[in-house]
Amino acid sequence: MVKPKAGIVGAGIAGASCAGTLSGAGWDVDVFDKARGAGGRLSTRRLGHGWATLGTPFISARRDPFRSQLREWVRKGWLEAVRGDVLQGRATVSWAQAQMQNHYRPTIEPSQLVRRLLGEASLHAHSPVAALKPRTIVLADGREMGDYDCVICSVPTPQALPLLEALPLLRESLGEVRYRPVWSFLMRWEGGPAAHVVKFDDHLLQLAVRQTGAGPGLWAVHSSYEFAETYLEASVEEASTRAASALMGLLGLPWPVEVEASHLWRYARPETTAGGFWLSDRENRVALIGDGIAGVGVERAWESGLRLAQALIQAREAGTI
Ligand SMILES: Cc1cc2nc3c(=O)[nH]c(=O)nc-3n(C[C@H](O)[C@H](O)[C@H](O)COP(=O)(O)OP(=O)(O)OC[C@H]3O[C@@H](n4cnc5c(N)ncnc54)[C@H](O)[C@@H]3O)c2cc1C
């Protein structure tokens, strides 16, 4: 029997959960990502001999099936429940008081976690996609990859829109989904709070998370949306200097605070979403998943990939695709 084939754009958690579920059911799956590897907003930054993350610091589950999935990842040694102290405003509180008791953090590189979810699917890194057509993925270098039983687009909605010129129905049903940006920095300093997480009550900075995989004193510091919107077009140097001086003021730190890396997430989190787990143009065999469709956060993104894959597997078994 001929194996069904899927082509997926985007190797974030949504694309990876979809790819892994389909390949586990015997589908041939190609995954294309413009980046150098899997991960998306769960990517890893290599530093010397260690790693840190500028993306999602925590993974949390509100309900099944993601709750059971997180328990399995804990059993496999990929995640651990977050522990330690949280500095919130001027007080140091427990995880429960900070409402973070259901939060987990990766113990392996987050990008590796996503890579493992891909299962047997073939990942094509450094492969930006320029357009989608019925059953076909057009790469930026002009190559057309095709005759897929389903093409799945798993990128933030503002990045999906320009790919959908040849699919007006899907484009229209997507409507307008707005994302908000975040500037994230890896900063190293000596001294300061003994806490593991700092939740700022501030209009410039939102959160700082101690990093344990790349030497002492390293933190990931995430800006507020307002900060990122103000410094959306600023240089890395300007945004880093503004964030470091805001941090020093808030924590009463002396110089030097070294900024070792930074990243502007233009599409950090969706403000509105399309609704449901996926959107599809059945006739042309193209579907959209990810947090811009299903809702903000790792849980919704992961579940959108899973649910679409399950629906495709069922449709294949029923002979409708
Ligand atoms: C700083 C930050 C903190 C966050 N904190 C949390 C948190 O604490 N808890 C939580 O649940 N969520 C958090 N989130 C949100 C969470 O990370 C996302 O909701 C989730 O990771 C989205 O996954 P995704 O697969 O939908 O998209 P992504 O991870 O963005 O994956 C999309 C992929 O598509 C690729 N791509 C884009 N365009 C193209 C193209 N044209 N061709 C080929 N490839 C392309 C990208 O390279 C990327 O790999 C945070 C996000 C950020 C940025």
Say yes or no: CB of residue 57 within 6 Å of ligand 1.
yes
Considering the entire predicted model, what is its pTM? 0.97
Residues 257 and 280 in one domain: no
| Same domain flag for 158 and 246 | no
Taking residues 151-178, what's their average pLDDT?
Answer: 94
Return d(Cα 226, Cα 305) in angstroms, integer: 30
pLDDT at 96 over 80: no
Q: How far apart are CA 302 and CA 88, in angstroms?
A: 29
Q: What is the pLDDT of residue 124?
A: 98
Q: Whose structure tokens read 């522990």?
A: 83
Residue 233 clears pLDDT 90, i.e. is over it: yes
What does the pLDDT read at residue 48?
Answer: 82
Ligand 1 atom closest to the CA of 13, numbered from 1: 25
User: How far away, in angstroms, is 302 Cα from ligand 1 center?
Assistant: 11
Average pLDDT, the chain: 94
What share of the chain has pLDDT > 70, as a percent? 100
Ligand 1 atom with the smallest distance to the CA of 267 is: 53
Task: For 33-83, write each residue's pLDDT tens digit.
Answer: 999 999 999 999 998 889 999 999 999 999 999 999 999 999 999 999 888
Mean pLDDT, residues 159-172 taken together? 95
From CA 78, how far away is CA 285, in angstroms rounded?
34
Separation in Å, CA 128 to CA 37, 211, 240: 12, 31, 28
Residue 304 Cβ inside 6 Å of ligand 1? The answer reads no
Residue 49 counted as domain residue: no
Q: What contacts 256, CB < 8 A, 6 or more positions away?
A: 189
Say yes or no: 95 and 236 in one domain.
yes
> Residue 120 is part of which domain span?
5-44+109-176+274-317
Cβ of 177 below 6 Å from ligand 1: no
Q: Name the residue with the closest Cα to ligand 1, atom 44.
A: 33
Whether 206 is in the pocket of ligand 1, judged by its Cβ within 6 Å, is: no
- The CATH number for 298's domain is 3.50.50.60
Is the same domain home to 238 and 101?
yes
Q: Are residues 195 and 296 in the same domain?
A: no
What phi and psi, each to the nearest 5 degrees, are found at residue 29? -130, 125
What pLDDT does residue 99 have?
72
What CATH number does residue 232 fall under? 3.90.660.10
Look at residue 94 in the predicted model and tell me its pLDDT: 77
Q: How far is the CA of 252 from the centre of ligand 1 (A)?
A: 33
Tell me, yes or no, whether 163 and 289 share the same domain: yes
Structural domain includes residue 250: yes
Quote the percentage of the chain above a pLDDT of 90. Answer: 81
| One domain, residues 148 and 84 | no
What per-residue confidence (pLDDT) applies to 98?
Answer: 72
pLDDT of residue 321: 82
Q: Is the pLDDT of residue 184 over 80?
A: yes
Same domain, 87 and 113: no
For atom 34 of ligand 1, which residue has the closest CA? 10
- Total structural domains within the chain: 2
Is it the case that residue 91 has pLDDT exceeding 90?
no
Ligand 1 centroid to 12 CA: how many Å?
6
pLDDT top residue among 91 and 201: 201
**Same domain for 61 and 165?**
no
pLDDT for residue 100 is more than 80: no
Mutate to test the pocket of ligand 1, among 9, 30, 56 (most ligand atoms within 8 A of CB): 56
On whether residue 161 sits in a domain, the answer given is yes
Site to substitute for ligand 1 among 18, 101, 126, 155, most atoms within 8 A of C-beta: 155
In short, whether 265's Cβ falls inside 6 Å of ligand 1 is yes
Classify residue 218: in a domain, yes or no. Answer: yes
Same-domain status, 190 and 267 = yes
